[in-house]
Amino acid sequence: MKSKEIRSTYLEFFKSKVHTIVPSAPMVIKDDPTLMFTNAGMNQFKEYFLGNTVPKQTRITDTQKCLRVSGKHNDLEEVGMDTYHHTMFEMLGNWSFGDYFKKEAIHWAWELLTEVFKVNKDILYVSVFEGSEDDNMPLDKEAFDLWKAIVPEDRIIMGNKKDNFWEMGDQGPCGPSSEIHVDLRSEEEKVKIPGRDLVNADHPLVVEIWNLVFIEFNRKADGSLEKLPAQHVDTGMGFERLCMVLQDKKSNYDTDVFTPLIKEIEIITNTPYGKTEKVDIAIRVIADHVRAVAFAIADGQLPGNGGAGYVIRRILRRAIRYGFTFLDTKEPFIYKLVATLSKQMGDSFPEIKAQQTLCENVIREEEQSFLRTLDQGLVLLENIIENTTGKTVSGKKAFELYDTFGFPIDLTALILRERGYDLDEAEFKSELQQQKDRSRAASVVTAGDWQILGEEESENFIGYDHRSSEVKITRIRKVNSKKDGEIYQLVLNRTPFYAEGGGQVGDRGILETENGETIKIIDTKKENNLIIHFTKKLPSDISGTLQAKVNIEKRDLSQANHSATHLLHQALRKILGTHVEQKGSMVSPDYLRFDFSHFSKLSAGELQEIETFVNKRIKEQIPLFEQRGITYNNAIEQGAIALFGEKYGDSVRAIKFGDSMELCGGTHVQNTADIWYFKIISEGAVAAGIRRIEAITGDAVKQYFSDQAETLHQINSELKNAKDPVKSIQSLQSENASLKKQVETLLREKAKNLKVELQTEIQSINGIDFLAKKVDLDANGIKDLAFQLGENKNNLFLLLASEQDGKALLSCYISKELVAEKGLNAGQVVRELGKFIQGGGGGQPFFATAGGKKPEGIAEALQKSREYLN
């Protein structure tokens, strides 16, 4: 059975059990501050488990894209080493929100596996929760009895809290689970060791394929458990492992989920799979990682230097490094695999097909960048080796190379072994642990339990229509962090405060008590469908009626910028083409930032045309046309633009200004005239195929024009109030260019004179013409001089040095004949001598240059250069 058929069979089976099939949520999470990525199928349903939202359907099934490379669920280092761990994987799931429970979940799981998929019952084992003294919980007898009626008792395994009690986190919904494991070993192996003895023992052929979680408790901040008012079912089956079972393979990578990618890697790199272990690991790493990276990009997360972006960059760099080391790939190639991935999975996940070009461009650019980093790292590693006494390289130095330049530590260790050196791994691990401890200490957040004060009304947002309102606090939680100290989080029965989302920052403002006490709201965010208000202190009477007041000035500025992003989006699609898609935005009171797909830098003319288009819409005074609670399909049929990487429900809100129509939950001006004016302040690249515009509106534009006028005044003052300042500046530029040419001419003449002088100083050492000299020339002058001196010589070794603006420069010229006959290399010479000037460099074998920050080391470098002639 092919993987596509396996996926559809699963979904159709649960559809027949009255489950609603829902699409996978984006793998990149945008509205949950506790998670970067979807790491389990239940993530998109957390609000239901927490009781914050009542689900419209009580039975749901799906296949969810998941990523496990950070935090508690981190499988990254196992990926490729074994045959069943992955960074990105599909989680097949069926869910019950207060509907059916253990009986149905267990019976349907067994029915699907053994009757529909025809899995041999004799290779299956099941586990149940054995109980926990710590939590005063007994054996899950209900699950045990249900399984006992289906399978022989010797196939039921008692599982401990680690393996058979599932928790969302340190706090929150949790419950016992039953796992289904499969034993794919040969009959001979099964005779030697029973499969039950290898369950949860990390055996590659005795693996868990399905976890049935029965959510019935809530873990409180003090560690205690309380019963939930409703019982839920949350199951997750590893799609790739299921394919391995149904396709009778011994490895996930031998299934048709991965074989098309592996075959393409074999073709591109001309390297066969299945011959050597190191090569096989590398190919598995690349096949796995390209899936994770491509789908993350398709879901809106570009590689970057921090947060989720850094995780994606790290995954891709791990793949590049394995190709570089074990497949001898020195040019970008991973991006070529996206086409295979798109063809293979595009029907089930159309986002990868729609974003294929973007994924290819971003991955190719990242590959090029990191390959340059590897080249630079190799030079720096050479310097570390040169400065090492003995045969053990400092772990601290290796950590600097890893931390500052991103040079992989395993590659460092490999190169050192090849050169006969050892790495002080203990010191490296110590440095790494110190960094992790610092990072963890800075980011640790401890949250207390929610103190429920009342459930008088639904906790809803009224800020589209009201900027102030009488409110009551329904729940309070105290949160501590090193960054922010002690913070209180409040939930109100209704709120005019907009919670951060859709690129727009959260509202600020105040809560006023009846006796005149003022509580500042410093931010507003959304978590698991709760609108949370952040404050440094609580009102003296937390049960009293409060007046909630949004900071109107900040809100007005934010929504002017938000409405401007919609007009900007419209302008970009009109002027550049409909290929333009929004790839991210940030809307604050101060400015707006808009990321979009486009293949080239925008010209000055295009930027002016975009500005003019937006300002024309502002001048037309177009009123806001808002539709709340319409269906997603209805909005799309009307021409609304839905943003990629966003998860929309059945009911959406559409914002329309004339011909601009988008799905959006943010706040907006009532009329485009309220924006006043739109001004672009910058445009540039974010990644391959992604551009960014930063712009301002309203009061910020007024300040911008005022600042520009002041700058012009100062320029005029410097130009002695010239009648035509532009013409005066052009005249100065022309004069400067002329003077530069004169200087260059003088330097060339100086070099000619030096040539005559230096020719008399060349010495013959061991049959080689040699000169090492400090001169008063810049880099270009030195290069001209070196080639002039070597013009009629075939045995010249020349090292010239200079000091310019407090920095040192070394340039080495070696006749090509010497390079061929003696094996001398100018690039290697300057890399090695560069350590005397605390710098480095490189170039070609016959000419290379190094720069450094220690001019005092020039003399020693010149002296040491003689040693190359021995």
φ/ψ of residue 725, rounded to 5: -60, -35
> Between 346 and 31, where is the model more confident?
346
pLDDT of residue 28: 87
Strand order in the sheet with 768-774: 763-765, 768-774, 796-804, 807-814, 847-852, 839-843
| Predicted confidence (pLDDT) at residue 440 exceeds the cutoff of 70 | no
CA distance 79 to 286: 10
Residue 96 forms beta bridges with which residues?
Answer: 59, 233
Secondary structure class of 458 (helix, strand, coil) = coil
Q: Is the pLDDT of residue 79 over 70?
A: yes
pLDDT at 73 over 90: no
Check residue 456 and give its pLDDT.
55
**Token pair in block for residue 179:** 């796992």
Report the range of poorest mean pLDDT among 334-343, 611-620, 728-737: 728-737
Q: What percent of the chain has pLDDT over 90?
A: 67
| 630-639: long-range pairs with CB below 8 Å, 24+ | 630/654, 632/663, 635/661, 635/663
Q: When comparing pLDDT for 374 and 594, which is higher?
A: 594
Mean pLDDT within 175-185: 96
Burial class (CB in 10 A: 0-12, 13-18, 19+), 471: buried
* Phi-psi domain of 163 (left: phi exceeds 0; alpha: psi -120 through 50; beta: other): alpha
Q: By mean pLDDT, which of 164-173, 464-473, 524-533 is the weakest? A: 164-173
Check whether 855 has a pLDDT greater than 70: yes
Collapsing DSSP states into helix, strand and coil, what is residue 227?
strand
H helices of 253-306, where? 259-269, 277-298
What are the tens digits of pLDDT across the range 95-139?
A: 999 999 999 999 999 999 999 999 999 999 999 999 999 898 999
pLDDT value at 443 more than 70? no
Burial string for 800-828 (b: 16+ CB within 10 Å, else e) reads bbbeeeeebbbbbbbbeebeeebebbbbb
The two structure tokens encoding residue 32: 């949950």
Asked if residue 841 has pLDDT above 80, the reply is yes
- Cβ-contact 89, 239 below 8 angstroms: yes
CB proximity list for 648: less than 8 A, separation 6 or greater: 632, 642, 663
Residue 212 has pLDDT above 70, yes or no: yes
**Kind of pairing between the strands at 468-471 and 509-513:** unpaired
The tokens for 824 are: 């001398």
Closest CA to 550 of 500, 491, 510, 520: 510
Residue 457 has pLDDT above 70, yes or no: no
Pairing of strands 156-159, 124-129: parallel
Q: Cβ neighbours of residue 421 under 8 Å, at least 6 residues apart?
A: 385, 388, 391, 392, 393
Q: Is the pLDDT of residue 645 over 90?
A: no
State pTM to two decimals.
0.78
CA geometry: angle 796, 797, 801, nearest 5 deg: 125
Could you read off the pLDDT of 332-383 as tens digits, one per residue? 999 999 999 999 999 999 999 999 999 999 999 999 999 988 888 888 888 8
- Two structure tokens written together for 459: 């906790």
Task: Kindly report the backbone phi and psi dihedral angles of residue 212, in degrees, each rounded to the nearest multiple of 5, phi listed first.
Answer: -105, 110
DSSP 538-602: --S-TTS-EEEEE-HHHHHHHHHHHHHHHHHHHHHHHHT-TT--EEEEEE-SS-EEEEEE-SSPP
The segment with the largest mean pLDDT, out of 60-74, 437-451, 472-486, is 472-486
State how far the Cα of 595 lies from the Cα of 691, in Å rounded to an integer: 6
Contact by Cβ (8 Å): 511, 585 = no
Q: Which amino acid is at 1?
A: M
Residue type, 276: T
The separation between the first and the last C-alpha atoms of the chain, rounded to the nearest angstrom, is 70
For residue range 757-798, what is the model confidence (pLDDT) as tens digits? 899 899 999 889 999 999 988 888 899 899 989 988 889 999
CA 39 to chain centre: 14
The three-state secondary structure class of 354 is helix
By residue count, the chain amounts to 870
Pair of tokens at residue 327? 């497949």
Give the tens place of pLDDT for each residue, 672-731: 999 999 999 999 998 888 999 999 999 999 999 999 999 998 998 888 888 888 888 999
Report pLDDT for 473. 94
Q: Is the sign of the CA dihedral 23, 29, 30, 32 positive or negative?
A: positive
DSSP, collapsed to helix, strand or coil, labels residue 809 as strand
Are 332 and 393 within 8 A, CB to CB? Answer: no
Phi-psi region of 696 (alpha: psi -120 to 50; beta: other; left: phi over 0): beta
Going by DSSP bridges, is the β-strand pair 518-521/523-527 parallel, antiparallel, or unpaired?
unpaired
Tokens 């989302």 correspond to what residue?
Answer: 501
Q: Is the pLDDT of residue 819 over 80?
A: yes
Token pair 């105040």 is found at: 510
User: What would the mean pLDDT of 44-68 be, rounded to a whole number?
Assistant: 89
Spatial separation of the C-alpha atoms in residues 573 and 523, rounded to whole Å? 33
Average pLDDT, the chain: 91
Cα-Cα-Cα-Cα dihedral sign, residues 354, 359, 362, 364: negative
Q: What is the pLDDT of residue 389?
A: 85
Angular region, 180: left φ>0, alpha ψ -120 to 50, beta rest: beta
Chain centroid, CA 421 distance in Å: 35
Task: Work out the pLDDT band at 647, boundaries 50, 70, 90.
Answer: confident
Min mean pLDDT across 280-289, 451-460, 665-674 is at 451-460
DSSP 492: E
Measured between alpha carbons, how far is 798 from 782 in angstroms, rounded to an integer? 11
State the Cα–Cα distance between residues 93 and 88, nearest whole angstrom: 16
Query: Sorting pLDDT into bands at 50, 70 and 90, what band is 71?
Result: very low
